[in-house]
């Protein structure tokens, strides 16, 4: 009955919003990309390999990065199976195809009955793995009807999402109680998932997969800059959102006055904002360049320049060059982004006060004095403190790396759980 009302509400929402979606698709390429796949047209490239399928769904760039090590380990642990990866966003799709190969990466179908059925019929997965909490009623129901076990890895309920999930717990309970295994990031996440309806005996704390992810390989931009870095020091601002780049550009003259050998790297979170950030740099009169243009004819960067990282998938290894890293999405109330990317390189980290999406990780780093939290008004001062006190900055970086290393192991626990689920379903895993 709940599924009936969900589909009825979904149908009404689609009819009402159809003019907006049609306009967006007509005027914006990203809304057209992958549309046929989303509506249930299974791409031929997925159908050549006859091995049984493990379907792993990772929504966007963050989730793709988080499961990178897991996908590699699944490939090694289950060579008789084919691990296939779906994403929801365009940027996630591009990164997943680059990391895992286009022949096994696809857009997740919209949660429409016919679209979901098309993929379940074509792929016939032996297991569906969901990264974090990407729950879709038709997808879950379709798996349950076919006897396909569903496992959730890296599961979390953020502070911001928790009230919404709690209000809709009657909708979620019939689906969540049938999940085969739920591997939560923390005790808090496990308690919240149990409260929403997950079977207590099937929920366990496995830790955060992101602690197991090292930069898979050094990006081209990192190699090029490392060869031409000279005596320059980098301030790297990653995954920034609107308003944060302006704060960093405003702070830039003071930072340069204190240390003239600095270069600022701005890496906006969303590609559609590259042009807006470029316009901001033009208005500021800064000496700057796009990474996409610099890569055509690389030259040594000059002290005081700003590099706009207008590419996808290169930020992670770029953190290895940073003297100080600012992790964006945190000066404004957007929940923050992942501070582990700089932590893995022993880099001192600064975030803003809005980090609810990564509270457990941030609190772990903060408790060891491996991370500084600053208000927007104090950003310049906090950056200067770490740039000028190199001894303390180095110690912070060492502590950040220690936290990163100590928290590793979630991937192994996920592999053990997947093996148990497949064996319980009668699937041969050797």
Residue positions annotated with a catalytic role: 63
The phi and psi torsions of 154 (rounded to 5 degrees) equal 55, 35
* Spatial CB neighbours of 155, under 8 Å, sequence gap ≥ 6: 132, 133, 182, 183, 184, 185, 189, 193
Other residues' Cβ atoms within 10 Å of the Cβ of residue 164? 10
Angle at 325 between CA 69 and CA 362, to 5 degrees: 65
Strand-pairing partners, residue 234, are 263, 322
**Residue among 233, 229, 226 at smallest CA distance from 262:** 233
Angle at 406 between CA 400 and CA 213, to 5 degrees: 75
The phi and psi torsions of 267 (rounded to 5 degrees) equal -125, 90
Tell me the two tokens of residue 415: 């592999």
Tell me the two tokens of residue 235: 């301030």
Contact 99, 68 (CB under 8 A): yes
What is the rounded CA–CA span in Å between residue 32 and residue 24?
A: 8
User: Do the strands 349-351 and 127-131 form a parallel or antiparallel pair, or are they unpaired?
Assistant: unpaired
Torsion over CA: 142, 145, 147, 151 (sign): positive
């Amino acid at each position: 009955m709940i599924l009936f009302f969900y589909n009825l509400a979904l149908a009404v929402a689609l009819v009402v919003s159809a003019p907006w979606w049609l306009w967006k698709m007509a005027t914006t390429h990203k809304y057209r990309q992958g549309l046929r796949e989303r509506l249930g047209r299974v791409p031929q490239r997925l159908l050549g390999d006859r091995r049984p399928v493990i379907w792993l769904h990772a929504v966007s760039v963050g989730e793709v990065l988080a499961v990178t090590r897991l996908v590699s380990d699944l490939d090694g642990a289950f060579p008789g199976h084919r691990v296939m990866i779906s994403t929801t966003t365009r940027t996630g799709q591009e990164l997943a195809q680059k990391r895992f190969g286009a022949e096994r990466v696809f857009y997740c179908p919209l949660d429409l009955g016919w679209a979901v059925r098309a993929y379940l019929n074509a792929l016939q997965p032996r297991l569906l793995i969901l990264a974090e909490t990407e729950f879709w009623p038709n997808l879950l129901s379709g798996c349950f009807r076919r006897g396909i076990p569903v496992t959730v890895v890296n599961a979390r309920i953020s502070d911001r999402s928790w009230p919404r999930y709690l209000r809709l717990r009657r909708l979620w309970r019939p689906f969540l109680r049938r999940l085969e295994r739920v591997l939560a990031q923390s005790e808090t996440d496990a308690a919240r998932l149990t409260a929403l309806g997950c079977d207590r005996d099937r929920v366990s704390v496995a830790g955060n997969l992101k602690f197991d992810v090292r930069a898979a390989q050094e990006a081209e931009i990192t190699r090029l800059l490392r060869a031409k870095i000279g005596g320059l020091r980098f301030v790297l601002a990653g995954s920034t959102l609107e308003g944060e780049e302006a704060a960093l550009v405003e702070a830039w003259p003071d930072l340069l006055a204190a240390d003239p050998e600095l270069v600022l790297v701005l890496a906006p979170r969303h590609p559609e904002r590259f042009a807006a950030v470029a316009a901001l740099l033009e208005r500021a009169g800064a000496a700057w360049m796009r990474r996409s243009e610099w890569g055509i004819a690389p030259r040594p960067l000059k002290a005081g320049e700003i590099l706009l990282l207008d590419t996808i998938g290169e930020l992670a290894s770029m953190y290895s060059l940073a003297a100080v890293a600012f992790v964006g999405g945190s000066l404004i109330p957007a929940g923050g982004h992942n501070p582990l990317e700089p932590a893995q390189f022993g880099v001192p980290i600064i975030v803003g006060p809005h980090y609810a999406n990564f509270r457990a990780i941030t609190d772990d780093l903060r408790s060891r004095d491996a991370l500084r939290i600053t208000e927007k008004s104090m950003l310049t001062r906090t950056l200067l403190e770490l740039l000028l006190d190199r001894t303390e900055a180095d110690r912070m970086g060492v502590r950040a790396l220690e936290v990163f290393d100590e928290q590793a192991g979630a991937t192994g626990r996920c592999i053990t759980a997947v093996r148990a689920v497949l064996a319980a379903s009668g699937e041969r895993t050797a």
